[in-house]
Amino acid sequence: MVPNADDHVGYMRYALSLARQSPPKPTNYRVGAVLLDAKANTVLATGYTLECEGNTHAEQCCFIKLSEKYRLPEDRLADVLPMDTVLYTTVEPCSKRLSGHLPCVERILRLGTAIKTVYVGVQEPEKFVGENTGRKMLEDAGIMVVPVQGMEAEILEVATAGHIA
Protein backbone atom coordinates (compact mmCIF):
# COMPACT_ATOMS: atom_id res chain seq x y z
CA MET A 1 0.00 0.00 0.00
CA VAL A 2 1.35 3.42 -0.98
CA PRO A 3 1.39 5.93 1.90
CA ASN A 4 -0.27 9.34 1.51
CA ALA A 5 2.08 12.02 0.21
CA ASP A 6 2.20 13.67 3.64
CA ASP A 7 2.89 10.38 5.46
CA HIS A 8 6.59 11.00 5.94
CA VAL A 9 6.98 8.15 8.43
CA GLY A 10 5.28 5.80 5.96
CA TYR A 11 7.68 6.74 3.17
CA MET A 12 10.65 6.50 5.55
CA ARG A 13 9.48 3.00 6.52
CA TYR A 14 9.33 2.16 2.81
CA ALA A 15 12.89 3.48 2.38
CA LEU A 16 13.98 1.42 5.40
CA SER A 17 12.45 -1.72 3.85
CA LEU A 18 14.65 -1.04 0.81
CA ALA A 19 17.73 -0.55 3.00
CA ARG A 20 17.17 -4.02 4.44
CA GLN A 21 17.75 -5.44 0.93
CA SER A 22 21.29 -4.06 0.85
CA PRO A 23 23.97 -6.64 1.68
CA PRO A 24 25.61 -6.06 5.09
CA LYS A 25 29.25 -5.00 4.68
CA PRO A 26 31.77 -3.47 7.08
CA THR A 27 32.58 -0.70 4.58
CA ASN A 28 29.08 0.61 3.71
CA TYR A 29 25.97 1.93 5.36
CA ARG A 30 22.82 0.09 4.28
CA VAL A 31 20.61 2.94 3.05
CA GLY A 32 17.27 3.06 1.27
CA ALA A 33 15.91 5.92 -0.84
CA VAL A 34 12.60 6.83 -2.46
CA LEU A 35 12.20 9.56 -5.07
CA LEU A 36 8.60 10.77 -5.00
CA ASP A 37 6.35 13.05 -7.02
CA ALA A 38 4.71 14.52 -3.92
CA LYS A 39 1.87 16.22 -5.80
CA ALA A 40 0.76 13.03 -7.57
CA ASN A 41 1.91 10.78 -4.69
CA THR A 42 3.74 8.62 -7.22
CA VAL A 43 7.02 6.83 -6.61
CA LEU A 44 9.42 7.80 -9.39
CA ALA A 45 12.33 5.55 -8.37
CA THR A 46 13.67 3.59 -5.45
CA GLY A 47 17.16 2.49 -4.54
CA TYR A 48 19.31 0.90 -1.90
CA THR A 49 23.04 0.68 -1.26
CA LEU A 50 24.80 -1.63 -3.74
CA GLU A 51 21.60 -2.31 -5.70
CA CYS A 52 23.14 -1.20 -8.99
CA GLU A 53 26.49 -2.32 -10.33
CA GLY A 54 29.56 -0.98 -8.55
CA ASN A 55 29.86 0.67 -5.16
CA THR A 56 26.54 2.50 -5.52
CA HIS A 57 24.63 4.46 -2.91
CA ALA A 58 20.83 4.39 -2.54
CA GLU A 59 20.24 7.88 -3.96
CA GLN A 60 22.64 7.17 -6.81
CA CYS A 61 20.64 4.02 -7.68
CA CYS A 62 17.44 6.10 -7.91
CA PHE A 63 19.14 8.42 -10.39
CA ILE A 64 20.69 5.55 -12.38
CA LYS A 65 17.27 3.94 -12.79
CA LEU A 66 15.65 7.19 -13.89
CA SER A 67 18.49 7.87 -16.34
CA GLU A 68 17.93 4.46 -17.90
CA LYS A 69 14.15 4.90 -17.97
CA TYR A 70 14.32 8.29 -19.71
CA ARG A 71 17.51 7.56 -21.67
CA LEU A 72 19.07 10.73 -20.33
CA PRO A 73 22.37 11.43 -18.63
CA GLU A 74 21.90 11.82 -14.89
CA ASP A 75 22.68 15.53 -14.93
CA ARG A 76 19.72 16.09 -17.32
CA LEU A 77 17.10 14.44 -15.11
CA ALA A 78 15.85 17.86 -14.01
CA ASP A 79 14.29 18.10 -17.49
CA VAL A 80 11.88 15.24 -16.69
CA LEU A 81 11.37 15.37 -12.92
CA PRO A 82 8.01 16.75 -11.75
CA MET A 83 7.98 20.11 -10.00
CA ASP A 84 7.16 18.60 -6.59
CA THR A 85 9.85 15.91 -6.48
CA VAL A 86 11.07 15.01 -3.00
CA LEU A 87 13.65 12.51 -1.81
CA TYR A 88 13.37 10.23 1.21
CA THR A 89 16.60 8.67 2.42
CA THR A 90 17.22 6.70 5.59
CA VAL A 91 20.67 8.26 6.09
CA GLU A 92 21.46 11.80 5.00
CA PRO A 93 23.05 12.03 1.55
CA CYS A 94 26.84 11.81 1.56
CA SER A 95 29.02 14.85 0.90
CA LYS A 96 32.21 12.85 0.35
CA ARG A 97 32.94 9.46 -1.26
CA LEU A 98 36.07 7.42 -0.66
CA SER A 99 35.30 5.34 -3.78
CA GLY A 100 35.81 8.21 -6.20
CA HIS A 101 32.11 8.30 -7.14
CA LEU A 102 30.32 11.64 -7.18
CA PRO A 103 28.83 12.29 -3.71
CA CYS A 104 25.05 12.04 -3.49
CA VAL A 105 24.72 15.68 -2.36
CA GLU A 106 26.45 16.79 -5.57
CA ARG A 107 24.12 14.55 -7.59
CA ILE A 108 21.15 16.30 -6.00
CA LEU A 109 22.63 19.79 -6.40
CA ARG A 110 23.41 19.38 -10.10
CA LEU A 111 19.68 18.84 -10.67
CA GLY A 112 19.15 22.50 -9.76
CA THR A 113 15.71 23.06 -8.28
CA ALA A 114 14.28 19.69 -9.34
CA ILE A 115 14.39 18.35 -5.76
CA LYS A 116 13.23 20.93 -3.25
CA THR A 117 12.97 18.76 -0.12
CA VAL A 118 15.02 15.87 1.24
CA TYR A 119 13.52 13.87 4.11
CA VAL A 120 16.19 12.19 6.24
CA GLY A 121 15.95 9.43 8.84
CA VAL A 122 19.35 9.96 10.53
CA GLN A 123 22.52 11.98 10.11
CA GLU A 124 25.40 10.07 8.58
CA PRO A 125 27.62 8.67 11.35
CA GLU A 126 31.20 9.98 11.21
CA LYS A 127 32.78 6.51 10.89
CA PHE A 128 34.00 6.61 7.27
CA VAL A 129 34.49 10.20 6.11
CA GLY A 130 34.15 12.33 9.23
CA GLU A 131 31.59 15.10 9.45
CA ASN A 132 29.06 15.10 6.63
CA THR A 133 28.50 18.66 5.42
CA GLY A 134 25.75 17.55 3.04
CA ARG A 135 22.87 19.04 4.99
CA LYS A 136 24.50 22.46 5.03
CA MET A 137 25.31 22.24 1.31
CA LEU A 138 21.71 21.34 0.48
CA GLU A 139 20.26 24.04 2.71
CA ASP A 140 22.68 26.64 1.32
CA ALA A 141 21.31 25.76 -2.15
CA GLY A 142 17.72 26.33 -0.97
CA ILE A 143 16.81 22.66 -0.53
CA MET A 144 14.92 21.90 2.67
CA VAL A 145 16.31 19.02 4.73
CA VAL A 146 13.61 17.64 7.02
CA PRO A 147 14.35 15.05 9.72
CA VAL A 148 11.75 12.29 10.02
CA GLN A 149 11.77 11.52 13.72
CA GLY A 150 11.08 8.34 15.64
CA MET A 151 12.95 5.65 13.69
CA GLU A 152 16.56 6.57 14.42
CA ALA A 153 17.54 3.45 16.39
CA GLU A 154 15.97 1.10 13.83
CA ILE A 155 17.56 2.94 10.90
CA LEU A 156 21.02 2.88 12.53
CA GLU A 157 20.68 -0.83 13.35
CA VAL A 158 19.93 -1.58 9.69
CA ALA A 159 22.52 0.89 8.37
CA THR A 160 25.38 -0.55 10.41
CA ALA A 161 24.61 -4.26 10.03
CA GLY A 162 27.82 -6.03 9.09
CA HIS A 163 30.07 -3.42 10.70
CA ILE A 164 32.78 -4.58 13.07
CA ALA A 165 32.34 -2.97 16.48
Predicted confidence pLDDT, tens digits, the chain (165 residues): 678 778 999 999 999 999 999 999 888 889 999 999 999 999 999 999 999 998 899 999 999 999 999 999 999 999 999 989 999 999 999 888 777 789 999 999 999 889 999 999 988 766 555 566 888 899 999 999 999 999 999 999 999 998 876
What CATH number should be reported for the domain holding residue 46?
3.40.140.10
Do the Cβ atoms of 67 and 77 come closer than 8 Å? Answer: yes
Active-site entry in 51, 53, 59, 139: 59
Residues in CB range of 98: below 8 A, 6 or more apart:
128, 129
pTM of the model: 0.92
With respect to residue 154, please indicate whether it lies within any of the assigned structural domains.
yes
Q: Is 53 labeled as catalytic in the residue annotation? A: no
* Cross-strand pairs, 89: 33, 120
With respect to residue 1, please indicate whether it lies within any of the assigned structural domains.
no
Number of domains in the chain: 1
